[in-house]
Amino acid sequence: MTREYTSLLGRLTRREIRSRFIGSASGWIWLVLNPLLLLAVYSFVFGVIFQARVPPGLEMPFVAWLAVALWPWLMFSEGVLRGAQTIREHAALISKVAMPREMLVLASVTAVFVLHLVGYAAVILVLAAIGVDLNWLGFPRMLLALATLYVLAVGLALGMSAIQVYVRDLEQALPTVFMFWFFLTPILYAPSLLPPGYAGWLDWNPMTWWMTEIRSALLHDHAVPGWAALALLGGSLAMLWLGRVIFRRLSPYFEDFL
């Protein structure tokens, strides 16, 4: 990416972030407070009402086990959903300004990840403050997993944003798809707690690998990335390539359908 494109991406990302807080005097406070409130709700519903438990062998509160995987999912899902809507939302800009259109999608996904990283940092600090034993040496491994998750989100958003220009029903279908995907991902439950024969099916869900990698980095003494990290990197780069191919194949005809 050239310096000109990097500068453009920075400006578009800042514009996306500012647009989230227009008209809000306390927007940055809610940026930190919202994640903590959401974590409290999930912890009460699933930890207290439904009596969800951490996998056997882990000595930690359920809230900690839940939190370290919930925020990466929020980054990923919101990044893809917002990125998929970007081209249609910026139809007027696309028709008037000559610019690399994929930059709009990239900026949208980047803004979501930046904002959620602030909330994720707040949650991790709260977990450390209440005495949860986090593996601080595993943070580089966790950041690598988040980086590959970002690449995956960009690839999916590029492909979905281009397709959504032509298939308007995709805008309604994607939130439902991601809701099912959320519950099919071991975020609220551990695969080891499922009935025999069901846990193996979760390995076909790529997000299972990401959740396992992030939890291994922060909650276990696994600071050094293994072959799974290479698989996640390869899968995310393949998705980025496919998303760019779809986007570049369809983008010359956007004006005819926007």
Domain spans, the chain = 28-256
User: What is the reported pLDDT for 5?
Assistant: 73
User: What is the reported pLDDT for 239?
Assistant: 96
User: What is the reported pLDDT for 97?
Assistant: 67
User: What is the reported pLDDT for 11?
Assistant: 86
User: What is the reported pLDDT for 164?
Assistant: 92
* pLDDT string in tens for the chain (258-residue length): 567 778 878 888 888 888 776 555 555 677 677 777 877 887 788 778 877 778 777 778 888 888 899 999 999 999 999 999 998 887 777 767 667 788 899 999 999 999 889 889 888 888 888 888 888 888 999 999 999 999 999 999 999 999 999 988 888 899 999 999 998 999 988 887 777 777 778 889 999 999 999 998 998 877 777 888 899 999 999 999 999 999 999 988 887 776
User: What is the reported pLDDT for 24?
Assistant: 57
DSSP the chain: --HHHHHHHHHHHHHHHHHHTTT-TTHHHHHHHHHHHHHHHHIIIIIIIS---PPTT--S-HHHHHHHHHHHHHHHHHHHHHHHHHHHHTHHHHHH--S-THHHHHHHHHHHHHHHHHHHHHHHHHHHHTT----GGGHHHHHHHHHHHHHHHHHHHHHHHHHHHH-TTHHHHHHHHHHHHHHTSTTSS-GGGSPTTTGGGGGGSHHHHHHHHHHHHHHSS--S--HHHHHHHHHHHHHHHHHHHHHHHHGGGGGGT-
